[in-house]
Structure 1
Amino acid sequence: MQIYKVGGAVRDHLLGRDVTDIDYVVVGASAEQMLGLGYRPVGADFPVFLHPETGEEYALARTERKSGQGYGGFTFYANPDVTLEQDLIRRDLTINAMAEDDHGQLTDPYGGQADLEHRILRHVSPAFAEDPLRVLRVARFAARYASLGFRVADETLALMRQLSDSGELAALTPERSWKEISRALMEDQPQVFIEVLRDCGALERLLPEVDALFSGPQALHAGHTLEVLQHAARRHQPLTVRWACLLQYLAVKQIKAVSERFKVPRDCLELAVLVGQYRGQGHEALEIEPATLLELLQRFDVYRRPQRFEEFLEVCELDARACALANYPQAGYLRGAAEAARSVAVQPLVAQGYNGQALGEAIKRERLRALTDYQTANGSSL
């Protein structure tokens, strides 16, 4: 039995990047042997085991054969006679198809190290085209390593187009697609993910609403959206903000449809919809009336969910700064307005005898007065 580090741990070590997760492949062993050594199986039908002490994953060397549609449409063969080279050839990219033993000896049968040096994302074998998830994975790696000068090999992009045209992308589950999309949006260059998907025709299949921004009178919005995404990454914004940035120029109905299609987390859906509805008011904050301003703050529930309003302001500011604006006073003004509304104390109104609907109306009236005073004091100075 021989154990090797494989995949991302080897790749990132050679690139001089921090290694966070380590995957191991075991050659020359059976499932029975692994169980006998105390390893715990991850699943009944998948040859992956957890180390009895560290909990790290150890997978038996395996081959795979296409048996159906989609990411899960494969059957596996994981016996002791499977070689390391046979296991590595089933992987997606050459830079992920390298292994290292306990002595640091590198096994690189498919030219991964050379592709690292030449900054190429290249598929290992024609079997790449059997797994539609690899379209998203390659686009995600392109986003991760764009700052290092990596690009997708022409022949790999051609296979990605083939997969996009085949209809196989439709077989991906919403959960698997969202996992790759969300991880890609959190990379250093998330706009590259969108660009690569568009280059291979996958954007039209997965995110047709976003793809439509690249044609006709909306084309300016597409380029701007990619720039906003890049700014969001530079400012280390969370996924909620980046998802809202990507969808901000879509109609609210489309934002809901896209988010529901991929079963995105509720906080991502809510912020994206609110941005679609109120981004214009955010940009016009210095001109809107106190009553409209109060309605905006109420809609975001700035009293109980201040962070969501802060993320909305981040999207608005990123949108403005992508237009090369030197500053964005609206953000500071709206933060001050939220503080003014939050400063209204409820207890004195209760002490005055207000309750129920009357209390709600009294609170609203006092908040409106506070915002009017705030606007009088601050509006003319901005």
Structure 2
Amino acid sequence: MKTYLVGGAVRDQLLDLPVTERDWVVVGSSPEEMLAAGYRRADSEFPVFLHPETGEEYALARTEVKSGSGYKGFQVEYGPHITLEQDLLRRDLTINAMAISESGDFIDVCGGRDDLDNGKLRHITNAFTEDPVRLLRIARFAAKLGCWGFRVAHETHALMKTMARAEELMSLNAERIWREMSRAFATPQPWRFFEVLQRCGALQRLIPELVDGTLASSHGEQDRSDYMAPLRRVVKQSEDPVVRSGVALFESVAHLAKPDDWMQRYRIDKAGRQLLLDLLHFHPFSTDGAQAESIMQFVMTLKPKQQPLRFRRFVAAAQGLWPRRLEALLPHLEFSADLLELPLPEELLNSGLEGKALGEALFAWRVVRLNEVMN
């Protein structure tokens, strides 16, 4: 039995990037031998096991042959007879098909090191077209590595255009699309995820609302020459994937009659949905027409004391979408949040009011204070 470090860990190590997780391939073993050695099964369908001490994934070398429709329609073969080279050749991109042995030997059967040096995202074989998930993955790698000059190879882009026209593309479910998209928001250049999918024609079919909204819009302060200007801007200000997703998806959501239904259909997580709804609530506010009462009501819905992260995320996303408007309104938003922290004023404390009447009087008092600042 031999083990090899493979995939992203090798790629990122060669690029001098942080290695966040390590995957291993085991050659010359069987499920029974792995279990007897103390490994635990990590997957009921694939021969992947967890190390008894480190918890890292160790997968038996395997091959995959297309046997049905969809990205799960593969016949998997594994066992002691499968070689490392066979396992590497089944992978998606050359830069993800390199390995390092236990003794430190470097194995590269697909030319991954050359493509790494030349900044190429290149498929290994035409079997790349058999799995539509690979369209999402290569778009995510473009977002992760684009700042180092990585681009999709021409021949790979040609295959991607073919995949984008195939019926099998629509076998991708919402969970998988959102999983790859949300991971892209944590990369240095998340806008490349959308650009790569749009250029090959996949985005238009998978998430047409993005093409009709974000990618076709120049709403508000967005630069007509750069449909991803707000996302580019917010990337410099926030590393929070939730903030970035709110900025990237806002224009699309703003064009929908039932935005919450769309967000749930695409499995956007709870924090992301909440941020988008907060941005939609704030969207009609203007620097000229904003009223103290409306601002106070809005800030109260954000619950800055109980949910400070929600308030910070809103501010960061709104700065990305509407920088000039936020510059004018942020002092009023922050002052409103400060008012919510103040104890009950003495005149109301001694007023004898209770319940709803006291709440209405307190709100009116806060509006007066805010109005004084605004004027």
TM-score when normalising by structure 1: 0.89
Any idea what SS the aligned residue of 1:170 has? helix
Equivalent residue of 1:310, what SS? helix
Task: For 1:135 and 1:292, locate their aligned partners in 2 and report how far apart those are by CA, in whole Å.
Answer: 44
1:24-173 mapped onto 2 (5 Å cutoff)? 24-173=24-173
Contact 1:188 1:234 in 2 (8 A): no
Q: Which residue of 1 aligns with 2:195?
A: 195
Q: For residues 5-56 of structure 1, give each alpha carbon's deviation from its aligned partner in whole angstroms, at most 9, with x where no partner exists.
A: 0001111111121222110000111111111211111133310111122211
Q: 1:337 to 1:12 in 2, by over 3 A?
A: same
CA distance in 1, matches of 2:369, 2:340: 6
Distance, in Å, in 2 between the alignment partners of 1:246 and 1:19 is: 27
- Conserved in 1, the CA contact under 8 Å of 2:217 and 2:227? no
Q: CA deviation at 1:89?
A: 0.9
Counterpart-to-counterpart distance in 1, 2:54 and 2:70: 32
Structure 1 equivalent of residue 314 of structure 2: 312
SS of 2:306's partner is coil
Q: Say which of 267, 271, 282 aligns to 1:267.
A: 271
Q: CA, structure 1 residues 357+327, in 2 after alignment: closer, same or farther (shift >3 Å)? A: closer
Instruction: For structure 1, list consecutive stretches of 5 or more residues without a partner in the other structure.
Output: 377-382
* Counterpart amino acid of residue 194 in structure 1: F
Q: CA deviation at 1:252?
A: 5.0
The answer as to whether partners of 2:238 and 2:316 remain within 8 angstroms in 1 is no
- CA deviations 1:212-256 (Å, max 9, x no partner) are 244487796675541211222222341221121012223253643
Match of 2:208 in 1: 208
| Letter aligned with residue 304 of structure 1 | Q
Deviation at 1:317, TM superposition (A): 1.5
TM-score, normalised on structure 2?
Answer: 0.91
Query: Which sections of structure 2, spanning at least 5 residues, go unmatched?
Result: none
Partner of 1:297: 299
- Aligned partner of 1:246 in structure 2 is 248
Identity %: 39
- Higher alpha-carbon deviation: 225-234 or 26-35: 225-234
Instruction: Give the match for residue 283 of structure 2.
Output: 279
In structure 2, relative to structure 1, the CA distance for the partners of 1:255 and 1:225 (3 Å cut) is farther
1:71–1:133 Cα contact (<8 Å) kept: yes
Give the CA deviation at 1:343.
Answer: 2.5
Residue 314 of structure 2 aligns with an amino acid whose one-letter code is: F
Give the whole-Å Cα distance in 2 for the aligned partners of 1:256 and 1:154. Answer: 38
Whole-angstrom CA distance in 1 between matches of 2:62 and 2:280: 47
The whole-number CA distance in structure 2 between the counterparts of 1:361 and 1:347 is: 16
Deviation at residue 346 of structure 1 after TM alignment: 7.5
- Shift in Å, 1:350: 6.1
SS of structure 2 residue aligned to 1:259: helix
1:329-377, Cα deviation, whole Å (9 max, x unpaired): 332332123223442527974664333322322222222222223323x
AA paired with 2:369?
Answer: A
Equivalences, count: 371
Distance 1:341 1:285, change over 3 A: farther
Correspondence for 1:186? 186
Taking the aligned partners of 2:205 and 2:346, their CA distance within structure 1 comes to: 55
Q: Secondary structure at the match of 2:64?
A: strand
Q: Mean Cα displacement is larger for which, 302-311 or 60-69? A: 302-311
Aligned residue number for residue 339 of structure 1: 338
Separation in 2 of the partners of 1:340 and 1:357? Answer: 19
Shift of 1:58: 0.5
In structure 2, distance between residues paired with 1:212 and 1:22: 39
* Aligned partners of 2:287 and 2:328 also within 8 Å: no
RMSD of aligned Cα (Å):
2.5
> What letter is aligned with 1:189?
Q
Q: Contact 2:237/2:316 (CA < 8 Å) preserved in 1? A: no
Q: Which amino acid aligns with 2:280?
A: G
Q: Which residue of structure 2 aligns with residue 329 of structure 1?
A: 328
Question: What is the alpha-carbon distance in structure 2 between the residues aligned to residue 25 and residue 269 of structure 1?
Answer: 38
* CA shift for structure 1 position 285: 4.0
CA deviation digits over 1:305-334, x for unaligned, max 9? 34323322222222244xxx6992332332
Question: d(CA) in 1 for partners of 2:255 and 2:164?
Answer: 26
Q: Is this contact kept in 2: 1:48–1:57, CA < 8 A?
A: yes
